[in-house]
Structure formats: structure tokens, C-alpha cells
Amino acid sequence: MGAAGHSLFRALGLAVLLVATGAGAARPYRGGAVATAYPPASEAALQMLDKGGNAVDAAVAAAFVAAVVGPYHSGVGGGGFALVHDAKSGGTQVLDFREVAPKGASRDMYLRDGALVPGLSTDGALSVAVPGAVAGYLELLSRHGKLKPAVVLAPAIRLAKQGFWVTPKYRQMATGRAECLRQDPEAARIFLTPNAQGTPDVPPVGHLIKQPDLARTLERVAKGGAKAFYAGPVAQALVKTVQDAGGLLTQEDLTAYKTRQATPLETTYRGHRILTMPPPSAGGLAVVQVLGMLQQLRPQGLPYRDPESLHLYVEAVRRAYVDRAKYLGDPAFVQVPLERLTSPGHIADLAGGIDPKKATPSASLLAPVTGGPASTLRKDAGPLTPEPEKKNTTHISVIDKDGNAVAMTTTVNYSFGSCLVAKGTGVLLNDQMDDFAAQPGVPNAYGLVTGEPNAIQAGKVPLSSMSPTLVFSKEDPKQVMLAVGSPGGSTIPTTVIQAISNVVDHGMDVARAVGTGRLHHQYLPDELWVDRWGLEPATQSALEAKGHKLRRVDAWGDAEAVYSDPRTHLRYSSSDPRNEGAATGQD
């Protein structure tokens, strides 16, 4: 058995152990520490640290490997967000390398006779936005890294050539998108295998998937930089594949793509400074608002699994998601009242509207404002719970031996993105256009409802739930204590919020903080989602008595976190036991 096979079975064994025990104790590391959703990605990150690289080198190496071994979550045909903290200067920078709408995109492009056509924004060429991952990863390296791109990309290139083993997670995700993958011959050839009838089907566990075309693309990027992806043969193949299938991507779109720098959102929680993503992330605002409300409502802290406190948490989340639906979009295109939405006064108003004795019906928070951003929201937009096997995205957390830190979340949106592979490149393209409001007030693939500020427009960045976040030590507000983030679509912000609360409020070690059962509300559907370890029966009954409608959701985003002890400076990393990831570090 090769190294990839050993990594697979190590990951599966770890997951079984953690699920059986509820969570495992994270081991300490004296050097840097890493957490990712894939053992090969964590190994690549550790290799960069051992070569003298920093947290950025490690995170970028992990991201490129994730693009190879986790095509259902992320890839070079996608995009993402990163927070980068420099321990020496004490500064933290944001890089937004999210995808953007092609120049040919239009507000009603997924409507036919005024009605939204299912699948147009999630499957195939018309769902593809301009990818930003390669530009983002390489900019992170050039601005903050220490190692050369050829060194950082080497593990990904090797895995693309040698192959990776199909895991149970791969099978789960591919099963949910098998029909979509079959629609593209390249995707079917790479990610599926013929069954007894000759039909492309989901490969068995242990099947080796090699991607020589992707290896050649990565080699070009390692030598030629971002230009090798956004111009030349690779770019030509991207454009031709999309346009031949009826999509909008052009060479002009690729040439014009630019990453965006921003100032992180900042708040404090129980004395800890917190930095998170600003819009077009909606997740960062939710983190700021919900933690702010909890601090006001429970200034002395949150008793663990206390029904009264859980009720307040759920109601706080409900209101944060209402603000998301009303106001948020790409700030380069719409006026987002961010200063007001994050102000102590607004957060106090949100908290003050919570009834401590009963749940607030979501519909009562949706009164249209004449001429305002909420006027297009539909009160009857009540989607079903999204199918968990189709969710995607991945997160990488790193803190190196010097205290530099990276929290980076990347995605191709839906599982396996658009299911479209650019012929001859191995590049699986995103379906990020679904994160726009294809029809304002109508839910997207994650059940999220957004309004006119997130309507489709050429060159615009779609709203995102991704919430990479850094929490700092009380004693030193420039020392990162926790780097955390998660996949999971609409559940990303609530996963991050609960992981932070588990560490700060409940004193959990990082393994238990990410492994403990979680709760989620997103305003619509008006349901309280509970994962399989979320609540005891008595607590469920207490919440139902307050009017909450509970729904069990078995699959949940897997948080990835690294904790640095402010006193000992020992580091602990943890990959969520719900998935197949790996946490590691330097002794």
C-alpha cells in the first residue's frame, strides 16, 4: 500500500475513534500546527513548515493538494477567502480571491418566462463564474510566503500524477452528483469509472484516480505563475469548453480578473479580539453580530447546553441571517451599511428584540420596507433542507512556529462544482453563480434567501457564507490564539461561532470544540437544524416548548482549527471527526 493509502486509513481510523468517543484530545506541538480536511494536504503543509516555510507556504501547499484530492470541495477552478496574520508586525490582511460573474452575466439569466429554471445555476457551463483560486494562492505566496512556487506546488503535482485513493467521503459526494458528472465526458472520464453496463459510475473505495492533465496544468502554473492559467493554452481551453457548452466565460473575463484586498471585520468577545471576513462574505458579519448579541444577553457567560442560552443563540442567529438577506451583497456594487450593521447600537437593538420565552416566527421579521432592500423578499420562500451530500467547500488553518497564522476557506461551490472539466487541463470549474440571488427572494442550493443587493451583475462577486476567523489572546491582542473555519454552505458561520464559544465560554480543548454537536438556524426555512450529537432529548423538548421547529441534519460541515496556548505557546490542531481530515504539527 502506498503513502496515499496509509493516509486514507489513518484518517478513517481517527474519524472512527473520535466519533466513538465524542472527540479526541488534541496533542501538543512545539512548532507549527496544521488542520485540513485531507491527510495528504496536511502532510504537504507540514512538509513546507519543515522546509523552513511559514504559515502561508503551508496553507497554499495544502490548498493546491486539496484541489487534487478533494475535487468535490475545492479546486483551481474555484476561489476563496484568506486571513493572513504576520506575527512580527502584528498586522492581519484579508485577500478575497472569490470568483466573479462573467461580463456576459445578467440579472435574469436563469429565468425563463419569469420563472427560475432549476439546475441552470448549479449544473453545467452557464453556472461557471470567473475562477480566482490560482491568482489568490500565488498572490498569497508572493506577498507573504518564503518558498518558491515550484516547491509549494510539488506535492500537488506529484499527487495528480501518482493518483489518490477514493475514500468514503469521495463516494458520498460523487454519488450525490453522479448524474451531473455524467453529462460531461471529461468529468465522467476522470471522476467516475464504467460499471458492468459500461455506464460511468461512482468508483469503489480504494480506486486510484490519476489526473495527468491537471498535473501538467499545475506544472505550467509552477513555472509561469498566474499568467499560465489566465492566458495561453490553459485559458483557451477553459474558454472553449465553457462556450462550447453554452456558457459565458471569455478570455477578456480571465484577463481582467483581479484579487481584492480588504480590511478584516473586528470585534471582541469576552475580552478576546476577533478578526473575520468582511463582505462579500456574509459569514463574517454573522460572527460579529451573533457573538455581540450573546455577550450582551449573557455578559457573565453561557452555561453549557443550557436551554435558555441555546434559545438566545438561535434567536441571535435568526436575526443575523435576516440582516444578510436584507442588506448584503458585493460592496463594490451595492451600498452595504456595514458600519451600522456592526455597531453596538444595532447589535443591542437586535438583541433587544429577542423574546427570552418563545421563538420569533421568521416571517414576522420580513416586513417589506418600501423602496428598501427588503422589498423584494418573498414571505413564502420556504425551501426544504438542502441535500447534505451536495454541499462542498474546504478550510485550512495553520499557525507556524513564529506565530504567523492563516485561516483560508476555498470552494468550487456545489459538490464537484459545475461538473464541467476544461478539456486537456484537468481543471474542474465552479458553479459559483448559484451564490447570487438568481431570483431575489428565492432560495439557492443551500436554502439561503438573499435579496436585490445580491442580484446577478457582470463583474460582481457573489455573497458567501465562508467565514475564516482568527481569535486573539486576551493577554496579547496581537497573538493569535485560534485559527478556525469550516465548509458547510449556510452552516459555515454558525459552525465557526460555536467553535469559538466552545473554546472561550466552555474552556474546551480544540478537538472537543470542533467535534461537539451543533445547532443552526438561517431564518428560512424556519427550522432549527440539529446535528446527530447536537442536543439531549430533554433539551430538545425545552426548545420545542419555546416554539422552535427542530430538524435533524446528519451531515455537517467539518471545522478545521489550530489553537495556540497563550501561556505555554504549545499548539494544538484538530480536524473535525465528522469527516476524513487530519491535524498535524511539528514536534
pLDDT digits (tens, 9 = 90+) for 242-301: 999 999 999 999 999 999 999 999 999 999 999 999 999 999 999 999 999 999 999 999
Please tell me whether 411 is known to bind a ligand. yes
Termini Cα distance of the chain: 26
Q: Which domain holds residue 84?
A: 34-64+71-99+259-363+390-416+441-586
393 belongs to the catalytic site: yes
Return the DSSP state at 419.
S
Residue 378: predicted pLDDT:
38
pLDDT higher than threshold 70 for residue 487: yes
Please tell me whether 31 is known to bind a ligand. no
Q: How many separate domains does the chain show?
A: 1
Please tell me whether 392 is known to bind a ligand. no
pLDDT higher than threshold 60 for residue 19: no
Residue 218, in any domain of the structure: no
CA angle 104, 108, 111 (to 5 degrees): 120
3-state secondary structure of 427: strand
Q: How confident is the model at residue 198 (pLDDT cuts 50, 70, 90)?
A: very high
Alpha-helical runs (H) found in 83-167: 133-144, 149-162
Please tell me whether 435 is known to bind a ligand. yes
pLDDT in tens, 146-185: 999 999 999 999 999 999 999 999 999 999 999 999 999 9
Please tell me whether 36 is known to bind a ligand. no
Q: Give me the DSSP letters along 85-106.
A: E-TTT--EEEEEE--B--TT--
Average pLDDT over residues 406-428: 98
Average pLDDT over residues 14-34: 64
Return the DSSP state at 491.
G
Percent of the chain with pLDDT over 90: 87
Residue 180, in any domain of the structure: no
Residue 475, in any domain of the structure: yes
Q: How confident is the model at residue 370 (pLDDT cuts 50, 70, 90)?
A: very low
pLDDT higher than threshold 80 for residue 384: no
Please tell me whether 123 is known to bind a ligand. no
Residue 565, in any domain of the structure: yes
CATH number of the CATH domain containing 313: 3.60.20.40
pLDDT in tens, 294-322: 999 999 999 999 999 999 999 999 999 99
Show the cell assigned to 360. Answer: 420569533
Cross-strand partners of 470: 275, 483
Residue 298, in any domain of the structure: yes
Question: Model-level pTM?
Answer: 0.93
Average pLDDT over residues 115-132: 96
Please tell me whether 413 is known to bind a ligand. yes
Residue 369: predicted pLDDT:
35
pLDDT higher than threshold 50 for residue 323: yes
Q: How confident is the model at residue 11 (pLDDT cuts 50, 70, 90)?
A: very low
Question: Helix-strand-coil percent breakdown of the chain, rounded to 5?
Answer: 40, 15, 45
Task: Name the residue with cell 481517527.
Answer: 14
Cβ(64)–Cβ(155) under 8 Å?
yes
Round the average pLDDT of the chain to a whole number and report it.
92
Cross-strand partners of 164: 209
Please tell me whether 98 is known to bind a ligand. yes
Q: Give me the DSSP letters along 275-317.
A: EEPPTTBSHHHHHHHHHHHHHHH-TT---TT-HHHHHHHHHHH
Residue 139, in any domain of the structure: no
Residue 255: predicted pLDDT:
98
Cβ atoms < 10 Å from Cβ of 211: 26
Residue 13, in any domain of the structure: no
Q: How confident is the model at residue 392 (pLDDT cuts 50, 70, 90)?
A: confident
CA angle 301, 305, 311 (to 5 degrees): 80
Cβ(583)–Cβ(575) under 8 Å?
yes
Q: Which one from 217, 393, 516, 584 is the annotated catalytic residue?
A: 393
Residue 232, in any domain of the structure: no
